[in-house]
Structure 1
Amino acid sequence: MNLCPSQSLVAACVAALLAGCSLMPAYERPEPPVPAAFPYGSPSDQRGAADLEWQQFFPDGTLRTLIAKALANNRDLRVAALNIEQVRAQYDIRRADRFPTVGATVGGTRAPGASGSSVTSYTAGIAFSSWEIDLFGRVASLSEAALAQFFASEEGRKAVQVSLVASVATTWLSLAADDELLELTRRTLATREDSLRLTRLRFENGVASEIDYRLAQSLAETARATLAQLQRQRANDLNLLGLLLGEPVPPEFQTGATTQAVRLPDLPAGTPSDVLVQRPDVRQAEQQLVAANANIGAARAAFFPRITLTAGIGTASSDLSGLFGGGSWGWTAAPSLLQPIFDAGRNRAGLAAALAGRDIALAQYERAIQSAFREVADALAARTTWSDQLQAQSGVVAAEEARTRLARLRYEAGAASYLDLLDAQRSLFTAEQLLVQTRLARLQNQIQLYRALGGGWR
Structure 2
Amino acid sequence: MSKYKLTALVMAGLLSGCASKIDEQQQQNQLQEFVAKTQIAAQLQGQDELNWWQQLNSTQLNNLVLSARANNHDLHTSQLQLQSALARLGGQKAQYLPQGAVAVDATRSSTGNVNTRQSEANVNLDWQLDLFGKITALVDAANAGAMSQAEQLRALHIEVVTSVVKGFVSFQGNKQKQQIINLQIEALEQSIAVLRARVEEGVANELDLNRTLAQLKQQQALLPDIEYAQFRDLATLATLTGQLPADLTLVDEQALFEHAFTVSLATPSDAIALRPDISQALFEFSQANSLSVAASKALLPDISLTAFAGVLSLDNNQLSDTTQQWQVAPRIQWSLLSYPALLAQRDAQQYLSEAAYSQYQQVVLEALAQSELSLQLLVKQTQQLGYAKARYEFANNAFLQAQAMYQEGQIPYLELLDARQDVLIAQENAIDSTISSLLAKVDTYQVFNGRWSYALVN
Give the TM-score taking structure 2 as reference length.
0.85
- Alpha-carbon offset, residue 270 of structure 1: 4.2
Contact 2:41 2:268 in 1 (8 A): no
Instruction: Pick which of 339-348 and 238-247 moved more.
Output: 339-348
Decide which of 321, 329, 334 is 2:324's aligned counterpart: 329
1:24-423 alignment runs, 5 A limit: 24=20, 27=23, 29=27, 36-38=37-39, 41-42=42-43, 44=45, 46=46, 48-49=48-49, 52-53=50-51, 56=54, 59-108=57-106, 120-128=117-125, 130-250=126-246, 253-268=250-265, 270-272=267-269, 274-318=270-314, 323=319, 327-343=322-338, 345-423=340-418
Instruction: Pick which of 153-162 and 119-128 moved more.
Output: 119-128
Contact 1:103 1:127 in 2 (8 A): yes
Change (3 A) 1:133 1:23: farther
Contact 2:57 2:256 in 1 (8 A): no
- Alpha-carbon offset, residue 111 of structure 1: 8.1
Cα RMSD of the aligned pairs, angstroms, is 2.8
Supply the AA of the counterpart residue of 1:95.
Answer: K
* CA offsets 1:166-209 (integer angstroms, 9 cap, x no match): 00011001111111111111000010111122223323333223
- Alpha-carbon offset, residue 427 of structure 1: 0.9
Q: Counterpart of 2:257 in 1: which secondary structure?
A: coil
Tell me the distance in 1 between the aligned counterparts of 2:179 and 2:104.
82
Q: Which has the higher helix share?
A: 2
Matched pairs, number: 429
The equivalent residue for 2:429 is: 434
Supply the AA of the counterpart residue of 1:407.
Answer: A
The equivalent residue for 1:15 is: none
* CA offsets 1:382-440 (integer angstroms, 9 cap, x no match): 22332222222222111111111100010111111111111111111111111111111
Supply the AA of the counterpart residue of 1:267.
Answer: S
- Alpha-carbon offset, residue 316 of structure 1: 3.0
Instruction: Pick which of 328-337 and 405-414 moved more.
Output: 328-337
Tell me the distance in 2 between the aligned counterparts of 1:262 and 1:24.
53
Tell me the distance in 2 between the aligned counterparts of 1:213 and 1:257.
34
Supply the AA of the counterpart residue of 1:354.
Answer: Q
Mark the runs of 5 or more structure 1 residues left unpaired by the alignment. 1-21
Identity %: 23
Tell me the distance in 2 between the aligned counterparts of 1:354 and 1:158.
28
Contact 2:296 2:346 in 1 (8 A): yes
Contact 1:39 1:381 in 2 (8 A): no
Contact 2:196 2:209 in 1 (8 A): yes
Instruction: Pick which of 161-170 and 382-391 moved more.
Output: 382-391
Contact 1:84 1:154 in 2 (8 A): yes
Tell me the distance in 2 between the aligned counterparts of 1:135 and 1:338.
13
Instruction: Pick which of 364-373 and 282-291 moved more.
Output: 364-373
- Alpha-carbon offset, residue 55 of structure 1: 6.7
- The answer to whether the aligner puts 1:450 opposite 2:445 as a matched pair is yes
Mark the runs of 5 or more structure 2 residues left unpaired by the alignment. 1-17
- Alpha-carbon offset, residue 121 of structure 1: 4.6
Change (3 A) 1:348 1:383: same
Supply the AA of the counterpart residue of 1:137.
Answer: G
Tell me the distance in 1 between the aligned counterparts of 2:313 and 2:292.
50
The equivalent residue for 1:6 is: none
Give the TM-score taking structure 1 as reference length.
0.85
Contact 1:42 1:268 in 2 (8 A): no
Tell me the distance in 1 between the aligned counterparts of 2:423 and 2:123.
89
Change (3 A) 1:388 1:102: same
* CA offsets 1:238-259 (integer angstroms, 9 cap, x no match): 1111111110234753243444
Supply the AA of the counterpart residue of 1:153.
Answer: Q
